[in-house]
Amino acid sequence: MRIISLLAFGICLIFLHGCHGHRKLSEGEILEQKVDSILTLMTLEEKIGQLNMLSGQGELTGPVTDGHSYIDAIKQGRLGALLNVNGVAYTRRIQEMTLQESRLGIPMLFGYDIIHGYKTIFPIPLAEACSWDLEAIEKSARIAADEASAAGQHWTFAPMVDIARDPRWGRIMEGAGEDTWLGSLIAAARVKGFQGDDLSAPNTIAACAKHYAAYGAAEGGRDYNTTDMSERTLREVYLPPFKAAADAGSATFMVAFNEINGVPASANPLLKYILRNEWNYNGMIVSDWNSINEMIAHGFAANSQEAAIFAMRSGVDLDMQGHVYAEVLYDLVKKGKIPVWQIDNAVKNILRLKFQLGLFDDPYRYCNSEREATSILTPENRKAAREIARKSMVLLKNENHLLPSGKTVRTLAVIGPLADDDENILGGWKALGDPDEAVSLIRGIRETVDPKTKILYEAGCNINDDDRSGFSKAVAEARKADVVILAVGESAAMSGEARSRADLGLPGVQHELVKEVFKEGKPVVLVLMNGRQLAIPWEAQNIPAILEAWLPGTEAGHAIADVIFGDYNPSGKLVVSFPRSTGQVPVYYNHKSTGRPADPEKRFTSKYIDIPIEPLYPFGYGLSYTSFMYSHMELSSDTITMSDSLEVGIRVTNIGNYKGEEVVQLYICDHVASVTRPVMELKDFKKIELDSAETVRISFMLTPKHLAFYDQNMQFITEPGVFSVMVGTNSVNYTGKKFTLVP
């Protein structure tokens, strides 16, 4: 009991000063020796205990295996990690129990879903991605880590780096959208934000890149559903954000629930052959909730013994809430069905993480009640949440410059089921986000407009039922108003895990409410709050101003009011394409050409007969209160060799009346290749800020590496040929030029 702290400390000291022959040991070697020094003390039961993670209180996101009190498991040294326990007082109690009552006192690891904030809730990740502001995204993760670590947490199950092209899939809200290149940058930024430069610092936490892999490609957008795709699509579209997270040092990875090409992710060769062998990833791999057991339901494992064998063999180190390792590994080892080295490797990965977090030096490092009392939900954190929330919003339409609205409107009608909401605005996975601390839209408006402005309010309807009884009151208020702000969308519970939708329209009777209010002929500003892109063709056609606010978090109302009343000039750009109808899904910008590219005039081309082929709003799209003009695009050459780089220059001028930010986007197209390439692919961008009438010249450096792809032999190569490079304000409006890459 407790010997571990002493022993480990003693042994570690020896190693710290240790030499290997005459050579001084590297930090990594010392760490390995520390890990080994603990491993040698452990019984097989204790080793298996380290591979077991159970859930404490908090939201349970899957079936609970009955009859396993984690308290007993802790005392018996049969538990390595806990999720869903919170707060310094409780985590300290658990840690004390672990250290004092288990034989070896190996510190407990605490993990939690800190997806977009801990207590200060930031916009949902999909929204944050629309800021295209990597620094702000990193900062959001940094603050989340700072708050969570002040409350006893060591490890977040984030970032989710799954590419998602299907908005029916509710978990699209947790990721960075449809683009692989941008998604990879954001994955790295989030990992850096959570982990900082030093995992052992008391204000950083371990990240977890999830869900490896291809979870976002679930058939029909139905959560947990089957994924089947070519190795090419996997490598080109779905894997790069994971690689980026691994390269950024993500301390852990989580496997997905789905099967990929017939093999569940918990046993998929992707783990061993790509993650471990190809990328040399040596972090810790955790299952998803019960995902090892679920290989039985998949029809892949006959029983839990087989499931455990497959998962161990594939390198899944920690069993989240499945209790299958705890139940079957001991016998399997004794019967020779699982070699001890496999167990040892898994244990080492977990111990290494505990060392890296500094838990062996000070198991209470993250249990600081003073920090917990003073550094959570601070005014600075709220300010940061407000800043990124407004950067995340996308102005979809603004006819006749209806926005920004003046603050001295005489009468303002604020209508809609999300207008006075302080709960849904926090979004799914809100950790400890508290509605009492959140700013509703109407509150934000009240605090922003002139005190003399008369504000009328009616919900009009609920988010998702068919009760129209509130319509008449809402319409009556709209009639009295000079401007109507109409807040509609989804509840927080309509996106996230197990929240797939088959209809992407506004839920319930909200679309009817919008139409009724619109009939009054007043200027209507539609504020959308939702966890995924919606199909809103009628609104796009008829409503003069539409702001996509997403689910903006704790500071929602302030941030939306900042945008509506012009204290912030919107700059967000879509990271997902908005469909015209659910039937158009999947619709994404970087599709292939086909042999019969869509032509509305020609019958036998790849299109729909009832709706256009183009999305309602394209990838990269978003308006500002000002306008930007692109001119003088120039390439440093029209021919480059494999060892050259190409300078792409363009001038951008703010030709409107407001200072504003613009995301200048660079796309390429490889016209002819040995494997067909997408019609366009994002390869770079710059977010700039320009005063009215200001011009800057933007310069991008394109290298042959940007043009590379997997050939027919799955070699990552660059092929000579003719390319286009396009620079513009979104994936539809751009200026393009051609160049040739010669051998």
Q: Which is nearer to ligand BGC, 257 or 360 (CB)?
A: 257
The per-residue b/e assignment along 454-473, b for 16 or more CB within 10 angstroms, e otherwise, is ebbbbbbbebeeeeeebbee
The length of the chain in residues reads 743
Q: In the bound complex, what is the minimum distance in angstroms from residue 83's beta carbon to ligand BGC?
A: 6
What is the residue whose two structure tokens read 């895990």? 497
CB 635 within 8 A of CB 700: no
Q: Which of 47, 104, 108, 113 binds ligand BGC (CB under 6 A)?
A: 113
- Alpha helices, H only, 315-356: 324-334, 340-356
Residue of the chain from 46, 288, 477, 562 that contacts ligand BGC (CB under 6 A): 288
Q: How many residues form the binding site for ligand BGC (CB under 6 A)?
A: 9
Footprint (CB under 6 A) of ligand BGC, residues 124-163: 157
Separation CA 514–CA 506 (nearest Å)? 10
| Shortest reach from residue 157's CB to ligand BGC, in Å | 3
Q: How far apart are CA 298 and CA 56, in angstroms?
A: 27
CB of 319 to ligand BGC, least distance (A): 13
**Cβ atoms of residues 81 and 53 within 8 Å:** yes
User: Can you give the three-state secondary structure of 555-588, one letter per residue?
Assistant: CHHHHHHHHHCCCCCCCCCCCCCECCCHHHCCCC
For ligand BGC, the closer of residues 210 and 677 by Cβ is 210
How many Å apart are CA 500 and CA 222, to the nearest integer? 6
Identify which of residues 212 and 617 has a Cβ nearer to ligand BGC in the complex: 212
Sign of CA dihedral 567, 573, 574, 579: positive
565 near ligand BGC, rule: CB under 6 A: no
Q: What are phi and psi of 122, to 5 degrees?
A: -90, 170
Q: Least distance from C-beta 323 to ligand BGC, angstroms?
A: 15
- Apex 384 CA angle, 383 and 385, nearest 5: 90
Using the 8-state DSSP alphabet, how is residue 108 labeled?
A: P
Query: Smaller CB distance to ligand BGC: residue 58 or 566?
Result: 58
Which residue in the block uniquely carries the two structure tokens 């006959």? 302
| Active-site residue set | 288
Q: How far apart are CA 114 and CA 194, in angstroms?
A: 10
Residue 612 · residue 655 · CB < 8 Å: no
Alpha-carbon distances, residue 322 vs 35, 60, 224, 251, 728 (angstroms): 25, 13, 16, 22, 49
For ligand BGC, the binding residue among 61, 227, 258, 392 (CB under 6 A) is 61
319 touches ligand BGC by CB under 6 A: no
Taking the CA atoms of 75, 79, 83 and 88 in sequence, report the sign of the dihedral they define: positive
403 or 431: whose CB is closer to ligand BGC?
Answer: 431
CB 118 within 8 A of CB 141: no
Q: Report the nearest approach of ligand BGC to the CB of residue 59 (Å).
A: 7
> Shortest gap between Cβ of 499 and ligand BGC (angstroms)?
12
Least distance (Å) from ligand BGC to the CB of residue 220? 18
Q: Provide the minimum distance between the beta carbon of 251 and ligand BGC in the complex, in angstroms, as a whole number.
A: 15
DSSP assignment, residue 273?
I
Which of helix, strand or coil describes residue 410? Answer: coil
Given 47, 78, 210, 407, the residue binding ligand BGC (CB under 6 A): 210
Q: What angle do CA 703, 704, 706 make, to 5 degrees?
A: 75
Q: How far is the CB of 118 from ligand BGC (least distance, A)?
A: 14
Q: Which is nearer to ligand BGC, 156 or 530 (CB)?
A: 156
Q: In which region does residue 98 sit, left (phi positive, over 0), alpha (psi from -120 to 50) or beta (all else)?
A: alpha
Select 115 or 129, whichever has its Cβ closest to ligand BGC: 115
Give the Cα separation of 729 and 663 in Å (integer): 7
CA–CA separation, 546 and 455 (whole Å): 20
Determine, following the binding rule CB under 6 A, whether residue 178 of this chain makes contact with ligand BGC.
no
Instruction: Please give the residues from 483 up to 502 whose contact with ligand BGC meets the rule CB under 6 A.
Output: 497
Residue 252 or 314 having the CB closest to ligand BGC: 252
Q: What is the smallest separation between the CB atom of 433 and ligand BGC, expressed in angstroms?
A: 15
Check residue 391 for interaction with ligand BGC (CB under 6 A).
no
One-character DSSP codes across 485-517? EEEEE--GGGSSTT---S--S-STTHHHHHHHH
Among 15, 212, 253, 289, binds ligand BGC (CB under 6 A): 289
Could you tell me the smallest distance in angstroms from the CB atom of residue 497 to ligand BGC? 5
Nearer residue to ligand BGC within complex by CB, 265 or 668: 265
294 touches ligand BGC (CB under 6 A):
no
Q: For residues 702 and 474, what is the distance between their CA atoms, to the nearest angstrom?
A: 54
**Smaller CB distance to ligand BGC: residue 62 or 221?**
62
Which residues from 347-366 bind ligand BGC, rule CB under 6 A? none
**Minimum CB distance to ligand BGC, residue 566 (Å):** 38
Using the minimum distance from each CB to ligand BGC, give the nearer residue, 61 or 495. Answer: 61
Q: Considering the complex, state which of residue 289 and residue 588 has its C-beta at the smaller distance from ligand BGC.
A: 289
For position 531 contacting ligand BGC by CB under 6 A, the verdict is no
Tell whether residue 259 is a contact of ligand BGC (CB under 6 A). Answer: no
Type of residue numbered 282: N
Task: Give the number of other CB atoms < 10 A from CB of residue 302.
Answer: 10
Residue 70 token pair: 């984690």
CA distances from 308 to 80, 270, 293, 303, 313 (A): 17, 17, 8, 9, 8
Binds ligand BGC (CB under 6 A): choice among 38, 48, 53, 62: 62
| Residue 559 dihedral angles phi and psi, to the nearest 5° | -65, -40
- Which residues lie near ligand BGC (CB under 6 A)? 61-62, 83, 113, 157, 210, 288-289, 497
